[in-house]
Structure 1
Amino acid sequence: MTAHTQTAHAHEEARGRLRDRYLLPADARPASTARGLHHAALVSSDVERTVRFYQELLGFPLVELIENRDYPGSTHFFFDIGHGNLLAFFDFPGLDVGPYLEVFGGLHHIAISMDPDRWGEIRDRLDAAGVEVAEHSEVSLYFPGPDGERLELIADPLGEMYGSQILPADH
């Protein structure tokens, strides 16, 4: 057995222990205490470029644009990503904010569910706009946003993951 195979096997064993200890069967899980994701907030280096990307290219309508109450001169703006969920951004003019870095506790990617027909349409728009897209499992598109944020558009319905129902259908 190679070192890589041994490591992969050890990781799978660790996931198995976690599943056995914490992943309850659907009928035994308590209801969540949350109502849903109100918004996730990211940092934008250019408000107009971000609005063009998310509204014009991806089709997420801009629904609010206000001053950030925590930093005068900063803009806080929100896009509708469906089902009452919002994707928000801040800009921080005058601050030396660096490029995206993957760090512990940091953002890896945001996955947004999309109807398969719209998914294909947006894939074509991204391609026409020259955005580098990686397609996986015939339902996932991974690509960078205007500031390097990692995005995934997934053609699976909410509550499903690659064809498996992970939340009850009535959720």
Structure 2
Amino acid sequence: MRGIHHVAIICADYQRSRRFYSETLGFPVLNEAFREERGSWKCDLDAGNARLELFSFPAPPPRPNRPEACGLRHLAFVVADLDEEIARLTGLGIAIEPVRTDPYTGRRFTFFADPDGLPLELYEADPAEADGQRWEAGGAL
């Protein structure tokens, strides 16, 4: 295995989520298609070293809302300047949790939610990460 290719997200309101991820968070749209046979939209977004895939499906069940439910816990995005990104998102009316510091890496991070309540994290990069290098568990790959 060589890395993460994409993360797929099923949206309750496709257009709302598309605007959130492409306009609010700033991930460029790479491709978008309506899949007639499924009655479903699919949008590929460029998230740097991976892609985000947004899907619409008729009447998807809600996501379990327990902090430690089994499955994907959250999706984290690396940012060069945490304070700057927090100011930008709060300026757009997005609620951000208080900033915390990872006791193992010393890096600062915070959480917010997408339009469907999916927990998203902002993780402040160290200088090497901010320059676009790939990292794993605090060390370079």
TM-score by length of 1: 0.65
**Residues 1:139 and 2:103 are matched in the alignment:** no
Distance in 1 between the 2:4 and 2:136 partners? 17
Q: 1:87-114: CA deviations, max 9, x gaps?
A: 1121112x2522443432x221011112
Distance in 2 between the 1:122 and 1:63 partners? 23
Q: Larger % of strand: which?
A: 2
CA-atom RMSD in angstroms: 2.2
Q: 1:60-81: CA deviations, max 9, x gaps?
A: 1111112358x61111212111
Q: What number of residue pairs does the alignment pair up?
A: 126
**Residues 1:123 and 2:86 are matched in the alignment:** yes
Which residues of 2 match residues 16-165 of structure 1 at below 5 A? 34-68=1-35, 72-83=38-49, 85-93=50-58, 95-102=59-66, 103-104=69-70, 106-116=71-81, 119-134=82-97, 135-137=99-101, 139-156=108-125, 157=129, 158-159=134-135
Considering Cα pairs closer than 8 Å and 6+ residues apart, tell me whether 1 or 2 has the greater RCO.
2
SS at match of 1:151: strand
Which residues of 2 match residues 1-16 of structure 1 at below 5 A? none
Distance in 2 between the 1:125 and 1:53 partners? 13
SS at match of 1:35: coil
Pairwise CA distance, 1:139: 2.4
Residue identity matched to 1:139? R
SS at match of 1:124: helix
Alpha-carbon contact 1:100-1:148 (below 8 Å) kept:
no
- Asked which structure has the greater CA Rg, the reply is 1
Residue identity matched to 1:61? P
Identity over aligned residues, as a percent? 31
TM-score by length of 2: 0.77
Q: Larger % of helix: which?
A: 1
